[in-house]
Chain A
Amino acid sequence: MNFLKVLAGTVVCALGMTAVAEEAIDIQGFAKRGQAIPVSLSGFSGEVDSVLRTDLYVIGFDFVDAAAAKFVIAGSNNGHVEGSVRDSLKNYLMNPKAYSGGSIRAQAHAFANDIAKAFGQTPIFFGKIAYRKGSGDKGEIWVSDFDGGNGMAVTQGGKQVMSPSWVPGRRELVYTSYKSGAPVVYLQNLSTGDTRPIAKYGGGSYTPAVSPDGNRFAFISSMSGRLDLYISDISGGGAKALTKNPEDEASPCWSPDGSKICFSSRYKTRPALYTISANGGETHRLSVGGVQNLTEPEWSPDGKQIIFTSQMGSFQICVVPAQGGEAKTLCEGEDPCWTPNSRTVIFSRRKGSGRILSLLDVPTKHVKDIAQISGSCSQPSWAK
């Protein structure tokens, strides 16, 4: 009798455990299938509720009622945020946690980060962004929290500024400014304000991109009389051309291991994507099916995908495996930049006569405009 009870209990436990294990496997499967994970959200109100709904939406969750939810996110925000995540069998995926310190908005983002981690994702919600705010040839580089909070201009003078890009791991930006009368790439330390030119040559220096180890940067220059791809020490010394050809290179980006640069260049008069070793050598055209006119590539932090802007009438954000293949069209927009989780992307899109910043979850195609960033903003870069 007792033996049978023990055996029955063991069987029931085993069944329970296999059910939880099935859920754990399933989490990864959702992203692979391009599906959002259905969750219910309860107990939150006001700003906390809206922050959680926005954050979780752009990392691949859908909000449903409790009966349809695979996971239940519950908590409260009376003075401070508290919350937990449980699966449909009421097992904790994330144990109850209370947050303290900082603003209630920051606590909500901290909770969203912990939820992301519970689901095996890299958290992104304390990310900083840089972008160009302005229209026409007047504008400044702004830096803010990814949701627009704590925003401030880091340049002044109203001259034309373009394409800010972060130095990995540091509070430093590279960008192009026309303040000297020609397009020059500057390196700016955001903590000290120290700003120095690091690519100042004949013609214009455009679209700088810093290597993952922070020691070098790639840029486009017309100093040769044609638009070519150059590489240089981050100090500005040692510049050398990686391409010397009549075609025109544009928009370089680095592979996450720092070995290759991907850029846009013309192939039979249309823009296509190419890669080249960061040490120079032959360029290789990326074989991409299904789209035309590939520009503005960015390599995902996990190395697996390249996202880019395709120009076929309208502009579309598209993604392709890093070794080439069929491209997937994701949404209307331009100038995408990956966040560290290799699924969420910040980009800009046209709205009215200007542009706004927006977030896209690549596997689910969820899109959400960053409502709190005002004015015409474009060319976003997410801090690495």
Chain B
Amino acid sequence: MKRSRILNLMVVALAVVLVATGCKHKGVGVTELPNRKISYTPIGKSTDSERGVSLPSGETPTGTPGAIPDDISQKGSNLLNDPNHREDRSALAAETVYFDLDSATVKSSESSKVQEVAKYLQSNLSYEVMIEGHCDERGTEGYNLSLGERRALAIREALINLGASPDRVHTISYGESRPADQGNNESAWKKNRRGEFLVLMPAQ
């Protein structure tokens, strides 16, 4: 009698264990994601007001609206390929363009500098210019590399808009790597958010 009761208990115990382990281990703490439809926002299909080419604010384009050529692509500089080419950083040092935090928009207060650079290029037809885009140290290295390039490209577009040939204006980004001022405060940072002009000249 006793033995069969122990046996019964063991069978029940076994059954309980088997049922318990047979249960799926419910994912405690796992959040099932709702079946979201990805929202598609194809680039290039939105309105101009959101994605139009940014002109320097307050600047009216010379010439007819839409004067910016469709193709503003840049080829590499032939001058740079010539090891005997000359460079001049001082000629346009006064025209360094400064930017607001996290912005690649050429402010209207800076636009006269861009006009000076355009005039310089008109007066020196064999020269080219390399626009160097820089950032302050806030932002990741990758983001700053991109932001520096965007700043240089924005200045380049402004120059092309003023009639400069796309073939003579080049861009490069140094991101956060070449600060003008090594300080870690706003007075240093505003000096670092800039586009500088390096003049490229043929060999003598």
| Interface residue from B31, B33, B42, B76 paired with A201 (Cβ < 8 Å) | B76
Q: How far is the CA of A173 from the CA of B42 in the complex (A)?
A: 32
| Interface residue from B29, B31, B52, B177 paired with A136 (Cβ < 8 Å) | B177
B146 touches A268 (CB 8 A): no
Q: How far is the CA of A250 from the CA of B145 in the complex (A)?
A: 9
Cβ–Cβ < 8 Å partners of A295 in chain B: 140, 142-143
Q: How far is the CA of A251 from the CA of B66 in the complex (A)?
A: 31
B17 touches A15 (CB 8 A): yes
A243 touches B73 (CB 8 A): no
Q: How far is the CA of A202 from the CA of B51 in the complex (A)?
A: 24
Q: How far is the CA of A245 from the CA of B42 in the complex (A)?
A: 11
A378 touches B141 (CB 8 A): yes
Does A54 sit within 8 A of B, measured CB to CB?
no
Known: A18-B17, A202-B75, A295-B142. A226 touches B153 (CB 8 A): yes
A-B contact count (CB 8 A): 178
Size bracket, chain A contacts: 35 or more
Per the 8 Å Cβ criterion, residues 226-281 of A in contact with B are: 226-227, 243-248, 250-251, 265, 267-268, 271, 274
Known: A15-B14, A225-B153, A225-B157. A247 touches B143 (CB 8 A): no
Write the nearest CB–CB distance from A102 to chain B, whole angstroms: 35
Q: How far is the CA of A296 from the CA of B150 in the complex (A)?
A: 17
Write the nearest CB–CB distance from B55 to chain A, whole angstroms: 12
Cβ–Cβ < 8 Å partners of A243 in chain B: 43-44
Write the nearest CB–CB distance from B89 to chain A, whole angstroms: 14
Q: How far is the CA of A22 from the CA of B21 in the complex (A)?
A: 7
Write the nearest CB–CB distance from B141 to chain A, whole angstroms: 6
Residue interface mask A365-381, B partner, CB < 8 A = 1: 00000000000001100
| Interface residue from B36, B149, B171 paired with A287 (Cβ < 8 Å) | B36
B33 touches A321 (CB 8 A): yes
Q: How far is the CA of A296 from the CA of B141 in the complex (A)?
A: 10
Write the nearest CB–CB distance from B40 to chain A, whole angstroms: 5
Does B41 sit within 8 A of A, measured CB to CB?
yes
Please give the residue numbers on chain A whose beta carbons come within 8 Å of chain B beta carbons, in ascending order.
Answer: 4, 7-8, 11, 14-15, 18, 21-22, 25-26, 29, 32-34, 136-137, 160, 162-163, 178, 180-183, 200-204, 206-207, 220, 222-227, 243-248, 250-251, 265, 267-268, 271, 274, 282-287, 295-296, 309, 311, 315, 321, 323-326, 334-335, 378-379
Please give the residue numbers on chain B whose beta carbons come within 8 Å of chain A beta carbons, in ascending order.
Answer: 3, 7, 10-11, 13-14, 17-18, 21, 25, 27-31, 33-34, 36, 38-44, 50-53, 71-77, 80, 139-143, 145-146, 149-150, 152-153, 156-157, 160, 166, 170-174, 177-179
Apart from A160-B177, A182-B77, A246-B53, list 4 A-B contacts with CB within 8 A.
A183-B172, A202-B170, A227-B150, A285-B38
